[in-house]
C-alpha cells in the first residue's frame, strides 16, 4: 500500500463528536481523581524510589526506545507518529485495577497515576514535539499541522489537570459526597466513553477493517516493549517484585483515550495515527490482563514449590 494513501485517510468525526470525546475523557479523569488523596502525593516524598523509577521509565525511557523501535521497523509516517504520541501519554485509567489483579503494589500504582497525570501536562507536549521532530517523515506531518506545544499543554491541562483538581478538591472537602458518587460516577464515565468509542468505530468501520492489519504488529511489539521497560527498569534498581509489577503495568498501559483526543484535536483524525491509537486502546487491556495472569501464575507456582 502507498503510505501516502494511508496518511491521507481522515477518520469521520465531526467537531461535536470531538467535543464529546473531550468531555468523556474529562469525566473519566474526574472519576480517577475522586480516588486520589494528598497522601498519594506525600507517599512519593516519603518513599519516592518506585514512583520516580516508574516516571523515568514512563516519560524518558519509553519515548526514547519508541524512537529506536520506529527506526528499526520503519512503519508508515503516520503510524510512527502515532507510536510516539502513545509513548508520550501518561498511564491509562485501568492501570490501578490491572495492578491489583497482578498482585502488585497498588499504592505505587496509585502514586504513579497521580504524579504522572500532573507530569503529563508538561511532559506529553514536550515528548510529542521533541520525538515527533526527530525523523524527516514524522517532522513533515508535524509541520503540516503546525503543532504548537503550548496548545497541546492547554488541551492536556483542560482534560487532565482541571478534572484532577476538581475531583481531589471534592474528595478533600466533601468526603461523604465523594464516597457516595465515586463508584457510580466511575462506572457512568467508563460506560459513556465506551459508547463514544463504539460510535467512532461504527462511523469508521470500513477504514478500521481496511487498515487494522498495518498497525497490529507495531502495537504488539510496542506494547511488549513498554511492559518490559517498566518491569526491568524497576527490577534493575532492586525494587521488590510487587513494585516491579506495578511499574510494569503503569508503563505498559497508556492513556490511549487522551491520545485519541490529541489525534482528533491536533492532527485532524489522521488515519494511521488514529487507527494505531485506537487499536492500542484495545490491545493494552488484553496485554495487561495477560501480564496479570502470568504474574499471578508465577506467584502461585512459587508458593506450590515452597509447600512441595
User: What would the pLDDT profile of 268-299 be if each residue is shown by its tens digit?
Assistant: 778 788 888 888 888 888 898 899 999 988 86
Is 134 within 8 Å of 87 (Cβ atoms)?
Answer: no
CA torsion through residues 15, 77, 123, 216, sign: positive
Angle at 112 between CA 189 and CA 131, to 5 degrees: 90
Helix axes 49-56, 38-46, angle to 10 degrees: 100
Give the C-alpha separation, 256 to 279, whole Å. Answer: 9
Instruction: Round to whole Å and give the CA distance between 248 and 239.
Output: 12
Residue 301 in this model has a pLDDT that exceeds 70: no
Which structural domains are found in the chain, ordered by start? 15-299 (1.20.1530.20)
User: What's the pLDDT tens digit per position in 234-278?
Assistant: 999 999 999 999 999 999 998 887 888 888 888 877 878 888 888
Q: Determine the number of helices (DSSP H) and then strands (DSSP E) in the chain.
A: 16, 0
**Taking residues 223-227, what's their average pLDDT?**
96
Phi, psi dihedrals of residue 2, rounded to the nearest 5°? -70, 125
The whole-model pTM stands at 0.82
pLDDT reported for residue 48:
84
Amino acid at each position: 500500500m502507498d503510505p501516502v494513501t494511508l496518511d491521507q485517510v481522515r477518520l469521520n468525526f465531526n467537531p461535536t463528536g470531538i467535543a464529546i470525546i473531550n468531555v468523556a475523557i474529562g469525566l473519566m479523569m474526574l472519576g480517577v481523581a475522586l480516588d486520589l488523596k494528598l497522601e498519594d502525593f506525600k507517599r512519593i516524598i516519603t518513599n519516592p524510589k518506585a514512583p520516580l523509577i516508574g516516571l523515568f521509565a514512563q516519560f524518558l525511557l519509553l519515548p526514547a526506545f519508541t524512537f529506536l523501535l520506529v527506526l528499526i521497523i520503519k512503519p508508515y509516517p503516520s503510524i510512527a507518529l502515532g507510536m510516539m504520541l502513545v509513548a508520550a501519554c501518561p498511564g491509562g485509567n485501568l492501570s490501578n485495577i490491572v495492578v491489583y489483579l497482578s498482585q502488585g503494589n497498588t499504592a505505587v500504582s496509585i502514586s504513579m497515576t497521580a504524579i504522572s497525570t500532573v507530569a503529563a501536562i508538561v511532559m506529553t507536549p514536550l515528548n510529542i514535539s521533541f520525538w515527533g521532530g526527530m525523523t524527516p517523515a514524522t517532522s513533515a506531518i508535524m509541520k503540516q499541522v503546525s503543532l504548537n506545544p503550548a496548545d497541546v499543554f492547554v488541551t492536556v491541562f483542560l482534560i487532565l489537570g482541571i478534572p484532577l483538581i476538581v475531583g481531589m478538591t471534592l474528595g478533600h472537602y466533601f468526603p461523604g459526597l465523594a464516597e457516595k458518587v465515586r463508584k457510580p460516577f466511575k462506572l457512568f464515565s467508563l460506560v459513556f466513553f465506551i459508547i463514544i468509542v463504539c460510535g467512532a468505530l461504527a462511523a469508521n468501520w470500513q477504514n478500521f477493517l481496511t487498515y487494522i492489519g498495518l498497525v497490529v504488529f507495531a502495537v504488539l511489539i510496542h506494547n511488549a516493549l513498554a511492559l518490559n521497560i517498566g518491569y526491568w527498569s524497576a527490577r534493575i534498581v532492586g525494587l521488590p517484585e510487587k513494585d516491579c509489577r506495578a511499574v510494569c503495568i503503569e508503563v505498559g498501559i497508556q492513556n490511549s483515550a487522551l491520545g485519541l483526543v490529541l489525534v482528533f484535536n491536533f492532527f485532524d483524525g489522521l488515519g494511521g495515527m488514529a487507527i494505531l491509537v485506537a487499536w492500542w486502546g484495545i490491545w493494552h487491556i488484553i496485554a495487561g490482563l495477560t501480564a496479570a495472569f502470568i504474574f499471578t501464575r508465577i506467584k502461585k507456582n512459587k508458593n506450590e514449590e515452597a509447600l512441595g
